[in-house]
């Protein structure tokens, strides 16, 4: 059986390669789409109707679908001729590739880490596919310890202020200053 930590690092590596091919500007939009997805989930779960209606495995599916839909649209970034022709986004091939590689790895961490966190919060509701980690084994301990460092764990669960609100504000400011 494949460990979740191995799968996690495999996806981080895969998204890093994708980021190197796409470039930093497009990868930055994907990062912002994941931050927006976590924000949407946090806000939707504060609505009593939604919080009461979605329980059990449906909770995981609701969160995962929100994340995957927004990530899909983040990767479908338009090819804006105005941005392509701008000197601000002139592609120095090596620099663009290296920064894209770095941001792609961060996106892999954000995307797979967010889905993994939501899977852990739902109690791993798919025993035939992904089983609950066994805390008596080193791999199980690594999985349990790693969940504490996944994006929603530090972005969306802080008390009294959740960092996700600052992350969304920062993302919007960045988009307004750099892309507009």
Q: Residue 90: what are its φ and ψ, rounded to 5°? A: -60, 135
Mean of the pLDDT values across residues 19-27?
A: 90
The pLDDT score that the predictor gives to residue 87 is 54
The pLDDT score that the predictor gives to residue 49 is 86
Q: Residue 80: what are its φ and ψ, rounded to 5°? A: -85, 115
* Helix, strand, coil percentages in the chain from 3-state DSSP, rounded to 5: 75, 0, 25
pLDDT at 70 over 80: yes
pLDDT at 72 over 60: yes
How far is it, in rounded angstroms, from Cα 165 to Cα 131?
A: 33
């Amino acid at each position: 059986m494949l460990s979740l930590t191995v799968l996690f690092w495999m996806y981080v590596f895969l998204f890093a390669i994708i980021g190197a091919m796409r470039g930093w500007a497009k990868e930055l939009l994907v990062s912002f789409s994941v931050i927006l997805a976590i924000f949407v989930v946090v806000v939707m779960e504060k609505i009593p109707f939604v919080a009461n209606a979605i329980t059990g495995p449906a909770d995981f599916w609701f969160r995962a679908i929100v994340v995957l839909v927004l990530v899909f649209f983040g990767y479908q970034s338009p090819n804006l001729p105005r941005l392509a022709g701008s000197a601000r986004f002139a592609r120095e091939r090596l620099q663009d590739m290296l920064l894209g590689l770095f941001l792609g790895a961060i996106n892999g961490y954000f995307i797979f880490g967010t889905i993994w966190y939501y899977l852990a919060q739902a109690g791993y509701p798919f025993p035939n596919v992904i089983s609950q980690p066994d805390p008596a084994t080193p791999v199980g301990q690594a999985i349990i310890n790693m969940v504490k460092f996944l994006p929603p764990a530090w972005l969306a669960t802080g008390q009294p202020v959740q960092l996700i609100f600052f992350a969304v504000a920062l993302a919007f400011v960045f988009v307004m200053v750099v892309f507009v």
